[in-house]
Amino acid sequence: RFFASTDVGQVRDHNEDNFLVDKKLALFVVADGMGGHAAGEVASAIAVRTVHEEIRREADLINDYISGATGAAKVTKRDLIMLLEHAVQRACAKVNEEAKKDAAKRGMGTTLSALIVAGHQGFIAHVGDSRIYLFRQGRVEQITEDHTVYNELIKRGNLTREQIEKVGHKNAITRAVGVYERVEVDTLVIEVLPGDSFLLASDGLHGYIEQPDELAEYFKKEGAQSTKALVDLANARGGKDNITAIVVHVGEAADD
């Protein structure tokens, strides 16, 4: 079961976020576009559409993986990760191509976080600073890593958090889909347990979340109330950016 909401927020005049849910493929994508003259909207729309097209074209691969079809061409986890990576690279090339055609769109790009639930695994591809969280047995964990200046500085360990807080552009993203023809994509596979839930969120939502566990109560809300309440939360705290949330509930938990 899944629920999705997107909102322009309190400050922006148009929504540059795009998202996709395909129930049949169990594919979920959030993209947060950037670029002047509404180019961000174009970038995120192209990226989401391209990823969807590429994965839909290989739907049999996912079905064979889930059914555990054996034989010479047995589909492995690696095959599905490569499919996701390929889909994101195609999206990157398409956005980049579009930007070259139109000077007003030069340099446009988008974050992209995608999740495929196939059998007992979750397959993730991620670029930028949208996020995927996992809610399991009452605990929330962020499972993607933000590609931001702030995070790069923390990883290098040369500055204290206090010093980094003072850095200008600390929230600037260090990787985006479409700015160049190719992009480095983070991919991961995680075991999915019955009762697990995922949240895919643009930074217009997670920018207002101090600790992942703050999100726990929202996963427990009934149906579409979960994403609606998350949008309301971000708007109540300022809504300075577009807000997108997809909540995905997997299988049945004991207390369902």
Task: Indicate the helix (H) or strand (E) that contains 69.
Answer: none
What is the DSSP pairing of strand 112-118 with strand 109-110? unpaired
Q: Above 50 in pLDDT, residue 100? A: yes
Q: What percentage of the chain carries pLDDT values higher than 90?
A: 82
Distance of CA 103 to the CA centre of its chain: 28
Instruction: Enter the DSSP assignment of 185.
Output: -
What pTM, to 2 d.p., does this model score? Answer: 0.94
Residue 240 has pLDDT above 60, yes or no: yes
pLDDT at 207 over 70: yes
For residue 117, the cross-strand partners are: 122
Helix (H) or strand (E) holding 162: helix 161-165
Per-residue confidence (pLDDT) for residue 255, from 0 to 100: 42
Region 197-204: mean pLDDT is 98
Helix (H) or strand (E) holding 132: strand 131-136
Query: Which tens digits make up the pLDDT trace of 123-144?
Result: 999 999 999 999 999 999 999 9
Between CA 4 and CA 119 the distance in angstroms is: 22
Whether the predicted pLDDT of 22 surpasses 90: yes
For CA atoms 14, 171, 45, 105, the dihedral sign is positive
pLDDT at position 120: 93
Whole-number pLDDT of residue 246: 98
| Percentage of residues in the chain having pLDDT higher than 70 | 96
**What does the pLDDT look like over 141-181, one tens digit per residue?**
999 999 999 898 888 887 888 888 888 788 899 999 999 99
Whether 214 has a pLDDT exceeding 50, the answer reads: yes
Compute the mean pLDDT over every residue in the chain, rounded to the nearest whole number. Answer: 93
143-150, Cβ contacts within 8 angstroms, sequence gap of 24 or more: 143/188, 143/190, 144/113, 144/186, 145/186, 146/173, 147/173, 147/174, 147/175, 147/186, 148/172, 148/173, 148/174, 149/174
